[in-house]
């Protein structure tokens, strides 16, 4: 997960890594690399020992004295169920999507996170383009059909502009003044969306930064938010206490993801490092899985400055993408025009020790849900019963 204002600048202005970053890493050599990882798609396959990963991590992999670095391996059975964890509330504005750009490490989709709403965001609210989701219930407005509804009972309601209007799903509680972003869950404050990006591997056997019982997914999505109550901007929040919240979503191969395809179509325009392109309105909540069970733990950024300011919220259920969609990620280059071509792959950080941290879960693990070496790659029936309709999607508004 990227500290945008730090790493992004150095990638843009240099063909290598910034001098300051390299100096910071100079004293950190000798850290063990990520252990063998297991593929979450089909049979287990041991990672090739000769695969050294991204050049960023051939040297040091942590910070001196760090006690809460990320990513980590989530041990399914060792996570602690916390019944006090409330649902995570999500409200995003599609019109606030600004651009997508090639940082040289991954492609990053950026959003308007200013305190003052832009004219586009205000217009989006008036037209009902703000989408609000809460633990499987999807709320949005507009007269069009459901672009992607993942629960058979899902209903969508407008994020109303006028004071006093209330959502029927909110139990009479007004949420007209809700600012786009996330709150609830393990968070004490409201967090604004700054950007999202993916991490992926050169092959389907690796790519995700976090693992579950030592097993990796082909890719991982990170939606990066900052604490807009305690801090004035992302730059301040990224190094501050409880400054950043990241929703992590595992990505596996399967059905074509229609919303993601909007980004895939733009990728040829940003093949080279530093290239930027407009995306148009994009609703990031449609990249979230149907079931909202999650793990959470205190951690860090996974790229410099590696600040230990992050509350991680890792979704249990992965999303599916088609093989050719993931292959499109691997066509990007981490090199600029005139430089020797370098494929943009294996852009994940090695696993870090959990140390004395606790990984909490919003769900109780049922019998057979372990993800150890002998576990099935298919979620058990009990998982589906707790997330009813998780396998159901609608591409248009279903009949009443």
* Residue 256 neighbours by CB distance under 10 Å: 13
Residue 64: pLDDT band (50, 70, 90) is: low
pLDDT tens-digit readout, 346-366:
999 999 999 999 999 999 977
Residue 161's Cβ-count burial label (10 Å; 0-12, 13-18, 19+) is middle
Distances (CA, A) of 284 to 105, 139, 145, 221: 21, 14, 18, 11
The answer to whether the beta carbons of residues 342 and 332 sit under 8 Å apart is no
Distance CA 159, CA 162 (A): 9
Pairing outcome for strands 215-216 and 38-39: parallel
pLDDT bin (cut points 50, 70, 90) of residue 251 is very high
pLDDT exceeds 70 at position 253: yes
Among 79-88, 253-262, 361-370, which stretch is predicted with the lowest mean pLDDT? 361-370
What fold is seen in the domain 4-25+68-125+178-357?
Answer: Carbonic Anhydrase II (3.10.200)
pLDDT for 276: 98
Q: Are 188 and 242 in contact (CB under 8 A)?
A: yes
What percentage of the chain exceeds 90 in pLDDT?
56
pLDDT at position 155: 33
Q: Average the pLDDT over 293-308 and give the result.
A: 95
Highest average pLDDT, of 30-44, 354-368, 378-392, comes from: 354-368
- The pTM of the full predicted model, rounded to 2 decimals, is 0.73
Q: What is the pLDDT of residues 174-220, one digit of tens each?
A: 333 356 899 999 999 999 999 999 999 999 999 999 999 999 999 99
Asked if 267 and 331 touch (Cβ cutoff 8 Å), the reply is: yes
């Amino acid at each position: 997960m990227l500290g945008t204002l730090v790493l992004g600048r150095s990638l843009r202005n240099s063909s290598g890594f910034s001098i300051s970053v390299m100096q910071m890493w100079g004293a950190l050599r000798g850290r063990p690399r990520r252990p063998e990882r297991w593929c979450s798609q089909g049979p287990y396959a041991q990672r090739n020992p000769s695969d050294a990963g991204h050049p960023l991590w051939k040297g040091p992999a942590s910070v001196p004295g760090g006690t809460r670095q990320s990513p980590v391996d989530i041990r399914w059975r060792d996570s602690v169920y916390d019944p006090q964890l409330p649902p995570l509330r999500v409200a995003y504005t599609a019109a606030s999507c600004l651009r997508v750009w090639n940082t040289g490490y991954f492609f990053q989709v950026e959003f308007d996170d200013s305190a003052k709403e832009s004219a586009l965001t205000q217009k989006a609210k008036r037209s009902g383009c703000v989408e609000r989701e809460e633990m499987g219930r999807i709320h949005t407005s507009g007269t069009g059909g459901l672009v992607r509804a993942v629960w058979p009972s899902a209903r969508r309601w407008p994020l109303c502009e006028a004071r006093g209007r209330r959502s029927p799903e909110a139990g009479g509680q007004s949420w007209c003044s809700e600012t786009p972003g996330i709150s609830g869950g393990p968070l004490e404050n409201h967090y604004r969306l700054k950007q999202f990006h993916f991490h992926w591997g050169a092959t389907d056997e690796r790519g995700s930064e976090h693992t579950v019982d030592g097993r990796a997914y082909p890719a991982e999505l990170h939606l990066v938010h900052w604490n807009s109550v305690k801090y004035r901007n992302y730059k301040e929040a990224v190094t501050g206490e409880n400054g950043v919240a990241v929703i992590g979503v595992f990505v596996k191969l399967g059905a074509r993801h229609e919303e993601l395809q909007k980004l895939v179509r733009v990728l040829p325009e940003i093949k080279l490092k530093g290239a930027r392109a407009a995306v148009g309105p994009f609703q990031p909540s449609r990249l979230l899985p149907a079931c909202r069970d999650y793990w959470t733990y205190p951690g860090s950024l996974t790229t410099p400055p590696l600040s230990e300011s992050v509350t991680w919220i890792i979704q249990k259920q992965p999303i599916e993408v088609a093989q050719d969609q993931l292959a499109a990620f691997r066509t990007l280059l981490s090199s600029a025009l005139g430089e020797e071509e370098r494929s943009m792959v294996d852009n994940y950080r090695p696993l870090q020790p959990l140390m004395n941290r606790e990984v909490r879960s919003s769900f109780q693990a049922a019998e057979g849900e372990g993800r150890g070496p002998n576990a099935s790659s298919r979620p058990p029936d009990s998982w589906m019963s707790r997330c009813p309709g998780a396998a159901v999607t609608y591409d248009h508004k279903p009949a009443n």
